[in-house]
Amino acid sequence: MKTRITELFGIEHPIIQGGMHYVGFAELAAAVSNAGGLGMITGLTQKTPELLANEIRRCREMTDKPFGVNLTFLPTVSSPDYPGYIKAIIDGGVKAVETAGNNPQKYLPALHEAGVKVIHKCTSVRHSLKAESIGCDAVSVDGFECGGHPGEDDVPNFILLPRAADSLKIPFVASGGMADGRSLVAAVALGAEGINMGTRFIATKEAPVHQNVKDAIVAATELDTRLVMRPLRNTERVLLNEPAKRLLAKEAALGANLKFEDIIDEVAGVYPRIMTEGLMESGVWSCGMVAGLIHDIPTVKELIDTIMRDADAIIRKRLAGFAG
């Protein structure tokens, strides 16, 4: 399937692995890229630019295909060494960057000068248009279904994707609720040029996370996620567990008086304990509603091959049949 996204990033299939904290290591990124998609190393999981440079080298040893780095620009007082991370990306010969969070405009000239293509994660059409206006090469449009941060507009992909298609000139991929060949065909029909998958890639053999995490995703249904931190306007979709219930109870009790300090036990520093150690009640962790469509833990290649085979069958048989 050739799209503007496969052409832009030099990949075989229009499937991108989203950046995920303590999931997007070299092992997963290389597996996705080797299977024809675009794998992503999560930049800020690496605590320093030097560690990111090492992770890029590790990935390079596992694949000769294109892969990228996710870099989230956080609204924090003590900002990470973003110039250092950018340098590590450029020096490592990485040609794709997925940006997220705050506006990446100040870093685009250096990336573009080095031949890096930038895809920015957006949860609304207005943010997508802003990304286009500042020079991003593509956007990942994240619908309300997505795990992690869905924004504050609550617009699902059946509305958001056609709106993006009507408004954007640059290519975009659909993110949120993407799991299989049906997802890919539907996304393309609604105007996207490919899909970005996060939660679905966690439940694969190569994902370097604890088996407890994979089993939790397989066991979950589409009804098992919750939105937390909405009163702080930092909404996150997480899997329902005891810490999520505690956090929601605090939000209900404190209302408009809620402060980040009130929920720090449920949200701060939990990803290493959950993803690495499998301590599932350590805190809240991002998971998409797409868990309801995930019933197995295949290899990355099996997953991507199945998506493309099923998409081809839907287009050539089911949809072609309607055309008659």
| Residue in this structure with the two tokens 């990446």, named with its chain if needed | 104
Strand-pair partners of 175: 142, 196
pLDDT of residue 137: 98
What DSSP state is assigned to residue 318?
I
Alpha-carbon gap, residue 5 to 66, rounded angstroms: 13
Domains in the chain: boundaries: 4-208, 221-286
Q: What amino acid is encoded at 53 in this protein?
A: A
pLDDT of residue 79: 87
pTM for the model: 0.97
Alpha-carbon gap, residue 150 to 143, rounded angstroms: 6
What is the secondary structure of 188-212 as a DSSP string?
A: HHTT-SSEEESHHHHTSTTS-S-HH
Question: 4-208 sits in which CATH class?
Answer: alpha beta
pLDDT of residue 78: 77
Alpha-carbon gap, residue 212 to 216, rounded angstroms: 6
Please list the pLDDT of the chain residue by residue as tens digits (324 residues). 999 999 999 999 999 999 999 999 999 999 999 999 999 999 999 999 999 999 999 999 999 999 999 999 987 767 899 999 999 999 999 999 999 999 999 999 999 999 999 999 999 999 999 999 999 999 999 999 999 999 999 999 999 999 999 999 999 999 999 999 999 999 999 999 999 999 999 999 999 999 999 999 999 999 999 999 999 999 999 999 999 999 999 999 999 999 999 999 999 999 999 999 999 999 999 999 999 999 999 999 999 999 999 999 999 999 999 987
Query: For residue 140, which of 183, 96, 99, 199 has the smallest C-alpha distance?
Result: 99
pLDDT of residue 324: 73
Contact 235, 243 (CB under 8 A): no
pLDDT of residue 76: 74
